[in-house]
Amino acid sequence: MARQGRSIPLLVLVAFGVLAVLVEKASAMDFYVGDTTGWGVPNEATTYQDWASNKTFLADDVLVFQYQQGTHNVLQVSKKSFENCTISSPIDKFESGNDRVTLIDSDYYFICGISIHCTLNQKLHVIVSNKSEVPAPPSSPLSPPPKASPLPPPGSSASALQPAGALISMLMMVGIASLAL
């Protein structure tokens, strides 16, 4: 019986470790390159540069390149190949039309290797920021605190969209149960 009492706090500790990993992964975001326009020959020379300029990319974020398969592709290239639109030695090549690239660190350079698309500015450079470098959102002491949103009814689709909240609730119940023992 004493052994069972010691295993519950260990279970709670392991569960909190799993929660920490899930929360970290849940913070990763998918960025759809070009938003609704997707990946294609842009109308403006700075389309993809402008798209990336107002975003903060972090490790584990994912770039999603959507385009018509066979009409475009995505080549991950060096900075020099990016600047010169050189397609001969890509770091990686994607051709599915729905390509997902997980960012790890540093700079990434992407071009389209079809025809003259790169010279027509179908190219993207993103910089992955260190999480400690990302500024906290500004706070304003004069603004009122945000209103709490009501909880969704049990079993609704909204509650299914919050797995971390459900996991936290479960962990709290396990913790309370372990205190009762």
Query: Per-residue pLDDT for 157 more than 60?
Result: no
CATH fold group of domain 30-129: Immunoglobulin-like (2.60.40)
Summarize pLDDT for 54-107 with one digit per residue, the tens: 999 999 999 999 999 999 999 999 999 999 999 999 999 999 999 999 999 999
pLDDT (0 to 100) of residue 5: 55
Nearest CA-CA partner of 50 in 117, 121, 114, 98: 121
Least confident of 65-69, 83-87, 119-123, 163-167: 163-167
Determine contact, residues 95/89, Cβ cutoff 8 Å: no
pLDDT, tens digit, for every residue of 23-54?
A: 444 579 999 999 999 999 999 999 999 999 99
